[in-house]
């Protein structure tokens, strides 16, 4: 009876050992099969592309009257985030998640989740700030930050994998399978005024352009000529 007990105990111990080894192998395989992404390298900068559209005239096709469109100043101030792309496994898609906060706050806000640009070394994301009225397409509009404000930015990489729904064979569904840590913080301050807006000339500059100063090399000969004419006229009057 004791031999049978020892035999059963040995089988039980062997079964537990095999089960534990199997679980360890499965965990290692799963860990190795899940691709990892690194913390992105990125930079952030302020871009002022403001411009002025010139005035123009056209003919109204229905009335025949001349229509004048005045010149218009377009405010196009943006924040540009440039992220260096990284190599990813086949069958996955790389996305970048960007978050922002006011420099004097602790509350972060996710402002975009955008796909990486596979055709370039860098993925460029452009955010329009408060007051931008340009007709361009932007990654997002940031109404929270205005000229004169300071903001902090962070980026992290995220791998997405496309699957199909259980009840459909044609509808792809994206799912996040891996994400990096958040990057270090990049801080940017928005200038209080537009650098690209045309500046008017000062009155002193306008005066100097309208009435240029005469050089002494011009003034002296003119005075001598006038004095010579006066002397000649007086001599003639004296001889008469």
Tens of pLDDT, residue by residue over 42-79, are: 999 999 999 999 999 999 999 999 999 999 999 999 99
Closest CA to 175 of 3, 74, 68, 34: 34
Output the pTM of the full model: 0.62
56: closest CA among 37, 69, 66, 39? 69
Which of helix, strand or coil describes residue 169?
Answer: coil
pLDDT at 92: 86
Residue 154 has φ and ψ, to the nearest 5°, of: -140, 155
Residue 223 reports pLDDT greater than 50: yes
* Lookup result for tokens 């679980």: 23
What number does CATH give the domain 42-52+69-189? 2.60.40.10
Q: What is the pLDDT of residue 26?
A: 41
pLDDT digits (tens, 9 = 90+) for 161-210: 776 556 555 555 567 788 999 999 999 999 987 654 443 333 333 333 33
So where are the chain's domains?
Answer: 42-52+69-189
């Amino acid at each position: 009876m004791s031999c049978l007990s020892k035999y059963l105990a040995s089988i039980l111990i062997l079964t537990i050992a095999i089960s534990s080894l199997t679980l360890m192998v499965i965990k290692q395989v799963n860990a190795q099969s899940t691709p990892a992404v690194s913390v992105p390298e990125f930079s952030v900068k302020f871009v002022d592309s403001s411009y002025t559209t010139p005035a123009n005239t056209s003919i109204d096709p229905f009335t025949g009257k001349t229509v004048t469109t005045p010149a218009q100043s377009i405010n196009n101030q943006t924040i540009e985030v440039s992220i260096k792309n990284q190599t990813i496994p086949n069958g996955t898609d790389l996305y970048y998640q960007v978050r922002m906060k006011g420099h004097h706050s602790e509350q972060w806000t996710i402002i975009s989740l955008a796909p990486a640009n596979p055709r370039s070394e860098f993925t460029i994301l452009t955010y329009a700030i408060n007051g931008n009225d340009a007709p361009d397409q932007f990654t997002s509009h940031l109404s929270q930050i205005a000229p004169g404000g300071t903001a902090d930015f962070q980026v992290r990489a995220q791998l997405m994998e496309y699957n199909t729904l259980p009840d459909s064979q044609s509808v792809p569904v994206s799912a996040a399978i891996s994400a990096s840590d958040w990057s270090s913080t990049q801080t940017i301050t928005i200038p209080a005024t537009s650098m690209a807006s045309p500046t008017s000339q000062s009155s002193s500059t306008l005066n100097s352009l309208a009435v240029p100063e005469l050089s002494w090399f011009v003034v002296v000969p003119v005075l001598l000529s006038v004095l010579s004419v006066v002397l000649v006229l007086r001599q003639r009057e004296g001889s008469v």
